[in-house]
Amino acid sequence: MDVLSEALGSMRTGRPASIRTEGRAPWGLRLSPVSGAGFHVVLHGTCWLVPLAGSTPGTRPLHLAPGDVVFLRDGRGHILADDPSSPVTEPEDEGYSQGPPIGMLTLGGDGARTSLLCGSYHLDQGRPHPLVRQLPELIHLPADRGRHPELAAAVQLLGTELESPRSGSDGIVTSLIDALLLYILRAWLESRPVEGAEGWAAALRDPAVAPALAAMHEDPAARWTVESLASRAGLSRAAFARRFAALVGEPPLAYLTRWRMTTAAGLLRDVDLPLSTIAARAGYGSEFAFGKAFKREYGVAPGGYRRSRQPA
């Protein structure tokens, strides 16, 4: 079971929003916070990412080169510019046009050209998965030949499709942008040093904790115990519990309950199934027990949660 894909999937609430930005120096663009995670891919040229006062994704302006990728965990406000001193405008003040497969924004003067893909992933930040919560506020993955080859290939394919659209480009570009989120986080997680690694970056590669996480994600309704999970890891109950809590940030059964409720919330939101079926899939033998556990986690009964997520 791919825990990374499932963790992100549990937070995704829609398709990513994307704009291709073409700037010619001098140019500057102020980007407001978004309710999700933001991203930028430099397709051509260079630029700077400048933090906004009071909404800081980093401490200093960050120089970006061709092929660089930036991920902003909380979609915090910031400025993109050819130079930190360039005048700044708002997106609505510039020439924005909506067209397939993404929108287009053109700004600036007649100097050096920079081409970027900018956008956001709609993630439910109300109850973020702990894997996402542990990510740094800003992830910068510089273009580095030989490192993160899959991410580099996705960026190159995106650039090619956007520069020369052909039959099928609409579907290809939207699929690549969707996949980009997983490529970004995989590249970051795999770039963490194994020695001394902590948190989820270590948990997903740990020979004892990773199989236990995969098992819980594969079958959340199973009657897991600390003992049965520890036996999969080849550790004693106490040793496994300590190791799991140290890396994941909570005890094994607390995480299991969290994932069961996350699974149930997704079913309530997306699938028209009876509550008894959802309760069983979440590992509860009765609707009453399930409803009590769900309300404890979400502050609302399952039926109320379902109604609140339905279109108006």
What are the chain's domains? Answer: 3-191 (2.60.120.280), 202-309 (1.10.10.60)
pLDDT tens sequence across 158-185: 888 888 888 998 888 889 988 999 999 9
Higher pLDDT, 103 or 41: 41
pLDDT of 284 reads 94
pLDDT of 235 reads 92
For residue 98, is pLDDT > 70?
Answer: no
Beta bridge partners of 106: 22, 95
Long-range contacts of 63-68 (CB under 8 A, 24+ apart): 64/40, 64/140, 65/142, 65/143, 66/42, 66/143, 67/42, 67/142, 67/143, 67/152, 67/155, 67/156, 68/41, 68/42, 68/140, 68/141, 68/142, 68/143
- Displacement of CA 241 from its chain's centroid (Å): 28
Tokens encoding 50: 């400048």
pLDDT of 11 reads 87
**What's the pLDDT band for 85 if we cut at 50, 70, 90?**
very high
- pTM for the structure as a whole: 0.85
**Span 69-81, mean pLDDT?**
93
User: What average pLDDT is seen over the chain?
Assistant: 89
Reduced to 3 states (helix: H, G, I; strand: E, B; else coil), residue 58 is coil
Task: Say which residue the tokens 């959802």 belong to.
Answer: 278
First CA to last CA distance, the chain: 35
Give the whole-angstrom CA distance, residue 62 versus residue 42: 13
pLDDT tens sequence across 209-218: 999 999 999 9
pLDDT tens sequence across 227-246: 999 998 889 999 999 999 99
CA-wise closest residue to 252 among 229, 270, 286, 280: 229
Reduced to 3 states (helix: H, G, I; strand: E, B; else coil), residue 44 is strand
pLDDT tens sequence across 233-285: 889 999 999 999 999 999 999 999 999 999 999 999 888 999 999 999 999 99
pLDDT of 312 reads 56
pLDDT of 50 reads 94
